[in-house]
A and B are shown apart, each in its own frame.
Chain A
Amino acid sequence: MQVVSPVREPLVTGKKTYHDVTNDICGRVEEKPSKSWLLAMAVSLTALAAGGWALGETLWEGIGMWGLNRTVGWAWDITNFVWWVGIGHAGTLISAILLLFRQKWRMSINRAAEAMTIFAVICAAMFPIVHMGRPWLGFYWALPLPNTFGSLWVNFHSPLLWDVFAISTYFSVSLVFWYMGLIPDFATIRDRAKGISKVIYGALSFGWDGAARTWSRYETVSLILAGLATPLVLSVHTIVSFDFATSVIPGWHTTIFPPYFVAGAIFSGFAMVMTLMLVTRKVYKLEDYITIKHIELMNIIVMVTGSIVGVAYITELFMAWYSGVEYEQYAFLNRTSGPYAWAYAMMMTCNVVSPQLFWFKKIRTSITASFVLSIVVNVGMWFERFVIIVTSLHRDYLPSSWAMFHPTLYDIGVYLFTFGFFFTAFFLFAKFFPVINIAEIKSILKSDSEKTATVKTVAENVNE
């Protein structure tokens, strides 16, 4: 027997029937691209082209085009890498961890969040590949392939190699997870479509027929994929943090990095989901599916993870002082009061102070405030990575080699390229793929919609 809590608010409002859900989501795929969509595409394609020029110059001339110097050998590139990987994490968190915890509100946002994961990971992976300088040889440096040195193999003791395995596994498993979710919805579009789109969505749907036997297997597969993706997502950012934590650079060599990076990743990822979903919700009029309740729940996660990140920052400072190691102490003194103190202040304000505003119900249920703060959080998280990477490097052991990092046009251009790619891919996704998981939403309609809630109460009254 289904027990409906009278206290719990419905997850889908607007008294939707199953057919309404199909129409609301498939309709967006079937209609002609709107003017606002074309405009958004034009903007992101422009960014892609402008950034593509910077990327091309970087590949042609070498990474000397960037602002790196002998002291600061990692700067914007690795900052952007960690930032994009972090953003990707929310997708997996929403679809896998919230699935294991049976949080049904995930169903309105998991599809778009997973798409975001995939595009963000592609953006992230681009940076270490370009940073190789000669990426066409990258296969031999990064993968265990036989080579002309009598097979001198890659170094499995190195966290950089672990990263290669972690990121590529993460990308492929997320892609499969996302695609598995899309198959039943492609079948829904196929059964409504005519002509060429019927053929295309037919192929994409892999001949899905919705048989009970297939659904039963499909549910098992989804559950196990979620079980696999959960430790995977935690391992990925842990390994990313190992890139720093296993080194002997003061400021990087800390044991707190893995949990601190994972919390930061969820924090920035949820903020990015918020940014994207608020726009999608508005443009596609999905207010009945992504309700204020959803926004509030996401904001609470942002607040919690933001507080964890804040605790980690303070712990780092305390440990630096308490360790008694001069180098460690100087690294943090320099971070908080050196020439990059402005970046540190930026990080502290955006990541630690701003999410605390979500303690106020008015702010966490306000769409404008959520949108602004979601961007503020991601600015802060970019600065967090910049602070960790650049301030730990720029004043090393020899004062004669101390230096500052100044980004060039090409640093900015390559970053712009990833934005162009990310938004182009996301807009294409939003136009041609169902942005909300139709089948999953239908499965909760009966227990969690406004309509059935009223119907049930009426039925119960009649029975009495």
Chain B
Amino acid sequence: MKKTVLHDQHVKLGAKMVEYAGYHMPVQYTSLKEEHMAVREDAGLFDVSHMGEIVVLGPQATDFLDVVFTNNIRALTANQVQYGFFLYENGGVVDDLLIYKINDEHYFLVVNAANKDKDFAWLEKQAKSFNVEVIDKSPYYSELALQGPKALTMLQAHTNDDLSAISFFTFDDVTLEGKTFMVSRTGYTGEDGFEIYGEHTDIKMLFKRLLLNHEALKPCGLGARDTLRFEVALPLYGHEITDTITPLEAGYKFAVYMDKPTFIGKDALVKQKEAGLTRRIVGLEILDKGIVREGASVYHGDEKIGFVTTGYLSPSLNKAVALAMIDKPHDKLSHEVLVQVRKRTLKAKVIKKKLYQKNKS
């Protein structure tokens, strides 16, 4: 099993370690709920060094990404970040990812750890007819995610660079504690925050300094990372998006630019759109006592109409809620459905899939 550079730190901090995507990763340190709430109220620090980093270089880098990536890559300017998908010809998802634009001939791609090798092989295959180089840089980077309303103030204490100049979905090189990092205003928690890429020893140094200097900053594990992204309906590959679920069904068409001439999977999506969607991801509020989990079947009377893609007792709402793929026309708001949980059938109601709304004060 692979270890990130922070492995020994996690163990020292008393983390429960599990295998995830071939890495020995912390699932929680002290309490999943506390870690989750720290990110909603103060800030949390995640080791996300397992993520894959792939660089695309060459004169045709933009043309190439325009074809393999669903979003509008040509609209990106240097130092901007974009979210989108790689698709199969049938419209199913290869992976979801972030693309960082260094310049027209140089892009930095951040992909899911579990999909990295698959993505790299797929990209190399697609790249054959383009003048580009696709390089797996994962072994050279470690990554932290600093997330929460206090992330800016906390990180600012470690640099003379003005971090407020890095606006949402942009990035820049930043000197933190005398070392250079690539820092983006991004994350996967529904909160403000940063993702920080650097060399292994620099990331280790920064992880220690951040935790040492900020009492309100909690180290957070993969458990809280999942409940946080779930509450704000950010998809997780293998759950809300898979090789058999299209981005349209998952409700992420904002990251699919249908107006460009072509991209892999476009024809399938056009057809799906013309025929009309037959199902989509919705939120469920569980009305009976109980918690529904991924894989649970959803019924309308005796008819099976879908399945749960992720389910938790939401730490922010303290309610059992779920994301589920539901056949039309049962996907309408307030529609009552039934969820089979072991021997019990629980009543549930369709709600907006963004389960948690941040209080705008």
A and B are partners in one complex rather than unrelated chains = no
Which B residues have a C-beta under 8 Å from some C-beta of A? none
Which A residues have a C-beta under 8 Å from some C-beta of B? none
